[in-house]
Amino acid sequence: MPAQDDTGGDLVGFHEDMVAPSSGNTATSMGDMLYVNQLRANADATVAGQLEDIAFDEDGVNTIIGKLEDVRQKLDMHRGEAQALAGIHQREDSASRLYATIANQGGEAYIQALEEEIAELDQLIDDVKRIRDERLWLEADQVEQIEKHG
Protein backbone atom coordinates (compact mmCIF):
# COMPACT_ATOMS: atom_id res chain seq x y z
CA MET A 1 0.00 0.00 0.00
CA PRO A 2 1.42 3.43 -0.92
CA ALA A 3 2.51 5.73 1.90
CA GLN A 4 0.57 8.96 2.27
CA ASP A 5 1.63 12.54 2.73
CA ASP A 6 0.26 14.88 5.42
CA THR A 7 -2.92 15.49 3.42
CA GLY A 8 -3.68 11.79 2.99
CA GLY A 9 -2.56 11.75 -0.65
CA ASP A 10 -0.40 8.93 -1.93
CA LEU A 11 3.31 9.60 -2.23
CA VAL A 12 3.89 8.57 -5.82
CA GLY A 13 6.54 5.87 -6.16
CA PHE A 14 6.94 5.59 -2.39
CA HIS A 15 5.57 2.62 -0.51
CA GLU A 16 5.44 1.68 3.16
CA ASP A 17 7.84 -1.18 2.54
CA MET A 18 10.40 1.46 1.54
CA VAL A 19 10.45 2.95 5.06
CA ALA A 20 12.81 1.55 7.65
CA PRO A 21 10.83 -0.18 10.40
CA SER A 22 12.24 2.00 13.18
CA SER A 23 11.30 5.26 11.53
CA GLY A 24 7.58 5.15 10.83
CA ASN A 25 7.11 7.46 7.87
CA THR A 26 10.15 9.70 8.40
CA ALA A 27 13.87 9.21 8.31
CA THR A 28 14.89 10.11 11.87
CA SER A 29 18.26 8.44 12.29
CA MET A 30 21.41 7.93 10.27
CA GLY A 31 20.44 4.30 9.70
CA ASP A 32 17.05 5.35 8.36
CA MET A 33 18.67 7.89 6.05
CA LEU A 34 21.09 5.28 4.74
CA TYR A 35 18.15 2.93 4.17
CA VAL A 36 16.27 5.59 2.19
CA ASN A 37 19.42 6.44 0.20
CA GLN A 38 19.85 2.75 -0.65
CA LEU A 39 16.24 2.64 -1.85
CA ARG A 40 16.85 5.68 -4.02
CA ALA A 41 19.98 4.10 -5.45
CA ASN A 42 18.04 0.92 -6.25
CA ALA A 43 15.29 2.95 -7.91
CA ASP A 44 17.86 4.95 -9.92
CA ALA A 45 19.54 1.72 -11.05
CA THR A 46 16.19 0.31 -12.13
CA VAL A 47 15.41 3.43 -14.16
CA ALA A 48 18.91 3.50 -15.65
CA GLY A 49 18.48 -0.09 -16.76
CA GLN A 50 15.39 0.94 -18.70
CA LEU A 51 17.11 3.78 -20.57
CA GLU A 52 18.46 3.24 -24.02
CA ASP A 53 22.20 3.32 -24.54
CA ILE A 54 23.08 6.49 -26.45
CA ALA A 55 26.49 6.78 -28.10
CA PHE A 56 28.31 10.10 -28.23
CA ASP A 57 28.24 10.32 -31.99
CA GLU A 58 26.17 12.50 -34.30
CA ASP A 59 23.14 10.19 -34.22
CA GLY A 60 23.30 9.75 -30.45
CA VAL A 61 23.59 13.46 -29.77
CA ASN A 62 20.80 14.17 -32.24
CA THR A 63 18.64 11.70 -30.30
CA ILE A 64 19.34 13.61 -27.09
CA ILE A 65 18.62 16.93 -28.80
CA GLY A 66 15.34 15.53 -30.13
CA LYS A 67 14.30 14.41 -26.64
CA LEU A 68 15.18 17.81 -25.17
CA GLU A 69 13.19 19.53 -27.93
CA ASP A 70 10.21 17.25 -27.15
CA VAL A 71 10.37 18.34 -23.49
CA ARG A 72 10.62 21.97 -24.59
CA GLN A 73 7.55 21.58 -26.80
CA LYS A 74 5.58 20.12 -23.88
CA LEU A 75 6.63 23.00 -21.61
CA ASP A 76 5.53 25.45 -24.29
CA MET A 77 2.17 23.67 -24.50
CA HIS A 78 1.78 23.90 -20.70
CA ARG A 79 2.64 27.60 -20.84
CA GLY A 80 -0.22 28.12 -23.29
CA GLU A 81 -2.59 26.15 -21.08
CA ALA A 82 -1.49 28.16 -18.04
CA GLN A 83 -2.77 31.37 -19.62
CA ALA A 84 -6.23 30.35 -18.36
CA LEU A 85 -4.85 30.25 -14.81
CA ALA A 86 -3.68 33.83 -15.09
CA GLY A 87 -6.82 35.16 -16.75
CA ILE A 88 -9.63 34.40 -14.33
CA HIS A 89 -12.20 37.20 -14.45
CA GLN A 90 -13.15 38.87 -11.20
CA ARG A 91 -16.78 39.05 -10.17
CA GLU A 92 -18.45 41.55 -7.91
CA ASP A 93 -18.49 39.68 -4.59
CA SER A 94 -15.39 39.90 -2.42
CA ALA A 95 -14.83 36.12 -2.21
CA SER A 96 -14.77 35.83 -6.00
CA ARG A 97 -12.46 38.84 -6.31
CA LEU A 98 -10.09 37.36 -3.72
CA TYR A 99 -10.15 33.94 -5.42
CA ALA A 100 -9.54 35.46 -8.86
CA THR A 101 -6.69 37.63 -7.53
CA ILE A 102 -4.94 34.71 -5.86
CA ALA A 103 -5.54 32.37 -8.83
CA ASN A 104 -4.27 34.96 -11.32
CA GLN A 105 -1.14 35.59 -9.25
CA GLY A 106 -0.51 31.85 -9.03
CA GLY A 107 -1.05 31.47 -12.76
CA GLU A 108 1.34 34.32 -13.52
CA ALA A 109 3.98 32.83 -11.22
CA TYR A 110 3.55 29.44 -12.91
CA ILE A 111 3.91 31.00 -16.36
CA GLN A 112 7.03 32.87 -15.23
CA ALA A 113 8.53 29.64 -13.86
CA LEU A 114 7.73 27.84 -17.13
CA GLU A 115 9.32 30.64 -19.14
CA GLU A 116 12.47 30.42 -17.02
CA GLU A 117 12.58 26.63 -17.49
CA ILE A 118 12.04 27.02 -21.25
CA ALA A 119 14.86 29.59 -21.46
CA GLU A 120 17.22 27.28 -19.55
CA LEU A 121 16.22 24.33 -21.72
CA ASP A 122 16.75 26.41 -24.88
CA GLN A 123 20.25 27.24 -23.63
CA LEU A 124 20.95 23.58 -22.88
CA ILE A 125 19.76 22.56 -26.36
CA ASP A 126 22.00 25.24 -27.93
CA ASP A 127 24.95 24.07 -25.80
CA VAL A 128 24.47 20.42 -26.81
CA LYS A 129 24.22 21.41 -30.49
CA ARG A 130 27.40 23.50 -30.18
CA ILE A 131 29.26 20.65 -28.47
CA ARG A 132 28.04 18.22 -31.15
CA ASP A 133 29.14 20.52 -33.96
CA GLU A 134 32.53 21.26 -32.36
CA ARG A 135 33.21 17.57 -31.80
CA LEU A 136 32.20 16.64 -35.34
CA TRP A 137 34.41 19.42 -36.71
CA LEU A 138 37.31 18.27 -34.52
CA GLU A 139 36.88 14.64 -35.63
CA ALA A 140 36.71 15.67 -39.31
CA ASP A 141 39.83 17.82 -38.85
CA GLN A 142 41.69 14.94 -37.19
CA VAL A 143 40.75 12.58 -40.04
CA GLU A 144 41.93 15.15 -42.55
CA GLN A 145 45.26 15.58 -40.70
CA ILE A 146 45.79 11.81 -40.59
CA GLU A 147 45.04 11.50 -44.29
CA LYS A 148 47.48 14.33 -45.13
CA HIS A 149 50.32 13.14 -42.93
CA GLY A 150 49.67 9.46 -42.81
Q: What is the pLDDT along the chain (150 residues), one digit of tens a residue?
A: 444 444 454 444 444 444 444 444 444 456 666 666 676 766 666 655 665 666 777 888 899 999 999 999 999 999 988 888 888 888 888 888 898 999 999 999 999 999 999 999 999 999 999 988 888 888 777 878 888 886
Do residues 42 and 82 both lie within one domain?
Answer: no
> Which pLDDT value is given to residue 56?
72
Specify whether the CB–CB gap between 23 and 36 falls below 8 A.
no
Question: Quick one: 79 and 129 in the same domain?
Answer: yes
Residue 82 belongs to domain with CATH number? 1.10.287
Let me know whether 106 and 82 are in one domain.
yes
For residues 64 and 39, state if they share a domain: no
Q: Could you tell me if 117 and 65 lie in one domain?
A: yes
Q: What is the pLDDT of residue 37?
A: 66
- Please tell me whether residue 62 adopts helix, strand or coil conformation: helix
- Are residue 96 and residue 64 in the same domain, yes or no? yes
How many domains are there within the chain? Answer: 2
What is the model's pTM?
0.55
Residues 90, 32, single domain; the answer is: no
Structural domain of residue 40, as residue ranges? Answer: 2-50
**From CA 148, how far away is CA 139, in angstroms rounded?**
14
